[in-house]
Structure 1
Amino acid sequence: MSEHDKAWPKELRVSPDRKSLTISFTDGRSHTIEAELLRVRSPSAEVQGHSPAQRVTVGGKSEVTITKVHPVGNYAVRLAFDDSHDTGIFTWSFLSELGEAKDERWAEYIAELADKGMSRIF
């Protein structure tokens, strides 16, 4: 079991402008993750596909916002976005890992967009 698997949230807070989610863990760690990164790295099959080769690069989401946070048991939340995407189940472990590697994931995303001639802007 990794450190991320042991992470337990004590607070989830959507920013007033709905463009980020802050998750605080009982071990003292806290991460603020932009709605855009959450949307484009959603763990849904729509984004991730059914294998790494099927993962979709999603552009045009620089203005996306979080509209709802739905609890899923005691292990995750389902986030709904204003572009109607609402199928990703974000486990505590996934959110912990994404928060820890946020800068790296942003860089990967920007590089993917550039490689495919895509933009963050709709």
Structure 2
Amino acid sequence: MISIQNVSTAFGEHRAVDDVSLEIPTGSIQGIIGFSGAGKSTLLRNVNLLLRPSAGSVVVDGTDLTALSPSGLREARRGIGMVFQHFNLVHNLTAAQNVALALKFAGVDRRARQARALEI
């Protein structure tokens, strides 16, 4: 489960995300929609702390990401998958090969990578 509690993110005087709280159940697939400039990308970057919120907490599977050390955060991110609106793929690879490539970088063995890529 992902629990976002009272998250705010400010850029100087501008608050891109203002006191957002929500719970995302385990196993669900969610989308963030809204007008241009509404703070969607900022909130999404707050979920895995690609952008640290100015206030609030982000808890993923019981781990408060906002309280982790840099190395602890890197380790926690290995279990967090996200697809951004403008995602980057290696253009000369198939979709399955792109999935397998990410798993290779994560240290997953070849057979497990292939099985997971086919499953997805």
- Shorter-chain TM range is under 0.3
Higher relative contact order (CA 8 A, sep 6+): 1
